[in-house]
Structures are given as C-alpha cells and as structure tokens.
C-alpha cells in the first residue's frame, strides 16, 4: 500500500480498522505537549486566573504606587507556594506591600517583629502548664498562620533564625517529640534592611536558600514620587487597610496552584534551566553556585509567571525573568568579583546572555 493510501477514507466494512489508524495530525498532537491540552477548558481557566490577577493588582495599586514588578513577583511566590524575602531601605513600603497583599487574600495573617532578644519559643510556641488538669499543653506561636510577615528578619540571633528552617521547608514543626502541620496555604514574607548593620545577624545560606525570591525594592522614580504626594496630600493618617475586601480565598489559591501545575514546559526549556544552574557552578566569578533547589525554584516560578501572563505554557522569557530573583541571594561571588563591585545580578545576566536560547 502506498504511503498516502493509509490515510484515505475506508469503506464501512473496514470501520473496525479505522479506529486504530493514526493521522499525521494526531501524531503531531501526541508528540507535542502543547497539543495535548484541552484548549477550551484551559482557556476558560486562564481567563479566570487573569481576572484574579488583575483584581489583586487593582487592590495593591490602591495603596502601592509603582512597583508593578514587585507585585507580580509577590503573586508568583504565592501561586508557586514559595517564601519571599523583601529587601530595601526603610520607607519603600516593604511591610505595607505584604499587609495589603494579605488583606487581598481571605486567609489568616500574623506579623512577627524580629528583635535581638527574640527566642525560638516566641515564634514557634511553647508548653504551658494547665492548672485545672495538671498537664502541659502546647500553645501555638504566631508562626501558625497562613501568611506570616517577619519584619526585619536579620535582627534575630542565629538560634531564632534556625527555628524557621523546618517550618519553611517542610511546613511543619517538631516540638517535644510531637509533629504540628501548618494549614494551607503557608507563606513567609520576610523583610530586611541592607544598609543598617548594627544589631543585625546575617542570614545563613541554608535559610536564604529557602526563600524562593529575593526582591530588592528601590526608591520610586520622580513621577511615582509625585503620584504618592498627590494621593496623600489631604490625608495625614496611615492608610486604612480594613477597607480592603479580599478577592481570593484559600480554595482559590489551591485552584490556582493546581492550574500552575498543568502549565506546560518543554524538554528543551528544562535543559535550558539546568544549563543556567550548571553555569553558576562553573563560573570564574562565583565561589558558591546554585543548588538543585534553585533549578526547581526557577521551574515552578516560571510556570507561575506564565500563568499570571495568561499562558498555559512556559517561554524562555519567563525563565529569564525569574532567574535573577531566584539566584541573586543564592550565589556567593569570589573575593575578586566583590572587589570589582560586580553584583550577583550582573553575573546572572551575563550567564543568560551567553547561553543559547531554545527555539
């Protein structure tokens, strides 16, 4: 039989064999992961996701002027179940951004102000003696919440910072031999001031590695500064966050995370991520490269960015967008590179520029 005959319509007697035939279009759909998706259903879900994203942007925009990239990164962290580190000088709305975001979500929120005398039990909880039944019971600390804002995380000593290791990675704590699970969702947003060094403790690499992103918040530009002054020129009181109505519930977050899992990423892009990470381990200006946790962080955050941008598939642009925020706090530069004034972001940018982009 000629090659083109096997795709010709068959008569009724051969209907049983017709079901087993595979057309070239079907073969393409089978080999191409983008063709396997139920487009109609996926499009409806992506439209719903885009609506939720725009609602959060609108709520944030009522209080935060500018910082659009930061807002998208905050949403990316939540949708990809990652923890976030906000770094910036005082007064650039680090704490306000986290509080407005928490109000936009219908979830529990707690805030912990880290200080040099803070103890692990102040964060995790402690055993309390019950006089009625003469027994000890565990009183949960402020870490038991859905979204936890840790203000000035680098002000607590090492033993208090170490108390966060287990809960940030495994979303559980072990106290007195008992295991306590965190409720869904569980997100830690920490802030730190990079300028003031007195009375601070540098975060260990093991803890930095548990943050999905490090987001550096810069000063607003001139136009945004003018908009801030216009907005608050007739108001001397702090912003009233109680007026914010939640637009996303914990069930919505779960649904969005399930959608993010379905976002398609090709084998070529997986290799692209692996190549970027491998280059950080073999770069002349990097003393300590990125771990597999970093590559997984790029993977899931790139899928979340694709979803936020209304797509059901990842592109190289998504990977290039998240890579600096995933890697900047995980890399340790060589002393020579630090003396030259080179930043981790510059090294990451040079690595991305040198690697061939998949087509």
pLDDT given for residue 83 in this prediction: 95
Cβ-Cβ contacts under 8 Å for 259 (sequence gap 6 or more):
45, 46, 49, 307
Is there a cis peptide before residue 185, judged by omega within 30 degrees of 0?
Answer: yes
SS3 130: strand
pLDDT at 196: 72
Give the Cα separation of 256 and 114 in Å (integer). Answer: 32
Mean residue pLDDT of the chain comes to 86
- Say whether pLDDT at 4 is over 80: no
Task: Report whether 330 contacts 209 (CB < 8 A).
Answer: yes
Q: How far apart are CA 70 and CA 60, in angstroms?
A: 10
The predicted-structure confidence for 180-236, as pLDDT tens digits, reads as follows 999 999 999 999 988 877 778 888 888 899 999 999 998 999 999 999 999 888 888
Which residue carries 């090659």 as its tokens? Answer: 3
Instruction: Flag whether pLDDT at 278 surpasses 90.
Output: yes
**What pLDDT was estimated at residue 41?**
58
Give the list of residues 6+ apart from residue 186 with CB closer than 8 angstroms, or none.
Answer: 145, 146, 148, 167, 171
Q: 107: which DSSP letter?
A: S
> What are the structural domains of the chain?
263-359 (1.10.8.80)
pTM for this entry: 0.83
Mean pLDDT of all residues in 81-87: 94
Token couple for 81: 């179940």
């Amino acid at each position: 039989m000629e090659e083109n005959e096997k795709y010709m319509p068959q008569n009724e007697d051969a209907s049983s064999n017709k079901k087993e035939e595979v057309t070239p279009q079907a073969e393409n759909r089978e080999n191409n992961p983008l063709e396997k998706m139920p487009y109609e259903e996926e499009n409806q879900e992506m439209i719903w996701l885009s609506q939720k994203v725009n609602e959060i942007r609108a709520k944030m925009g009522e209080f935060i002027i500018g910082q659009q990239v930061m807002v998208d990164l905050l949403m990316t962290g939540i949708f990809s179940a990652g923890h976030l580190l906000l770094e910036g000088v005082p007064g650039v709305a680090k704490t306000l951004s986290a509080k407005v975001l928490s109000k936009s979500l219908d979830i529990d929120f707690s805030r912990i102000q880290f200080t040099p005398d803070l103890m692990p039990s102040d964060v995790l909880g402690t055993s309390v003696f019950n006089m009625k039944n003469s027994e000890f019971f565990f009183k949960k600390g402020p870490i038991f919440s859905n979204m936890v804002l840790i203000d000035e995380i680098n002000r607590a000593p090492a033993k208090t910072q170490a108390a966060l290791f287990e809960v940030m990675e495994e979303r559980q704590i072990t106290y007195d031999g008992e295991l306590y699970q965190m409720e869904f969702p569980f997100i830690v947003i920490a802030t730190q001031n990079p300028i003031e060094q007195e009375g601070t403790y540098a975060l260990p690499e093991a803890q930095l590695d548990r943050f999905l992103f490090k987001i550096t918040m810069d000063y607003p530009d001139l136009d945004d500064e003018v908009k801030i002054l216009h907005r608050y020129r007739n108001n001397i009181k702090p912003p009233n966050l109680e007026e914010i109505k939640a637009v996303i519930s914990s069930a919505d977050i779960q649904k969005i995370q399930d959608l993010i899992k379905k976002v398609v990423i090709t084998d070529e892009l997986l290799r692209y991520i692996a190549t970027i990470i491998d280059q950080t381990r073999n770069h002349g200006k990097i003393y300590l490269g990125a771990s597999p946790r970093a590559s997984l962080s790029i993977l899931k955050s790139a899928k979340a960015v694709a979803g936020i941008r209304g797509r059901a598939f990842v592109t190289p642009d998504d990977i290039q967008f998240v890579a600096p925020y995933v890697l900047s706090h995980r890399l340790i530069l060589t002393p020579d590179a630090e003396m030259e004034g080179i930043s981790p972001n510059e090294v990451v940018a040079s690595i991305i520029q040198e690697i061939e982009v998949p087509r």
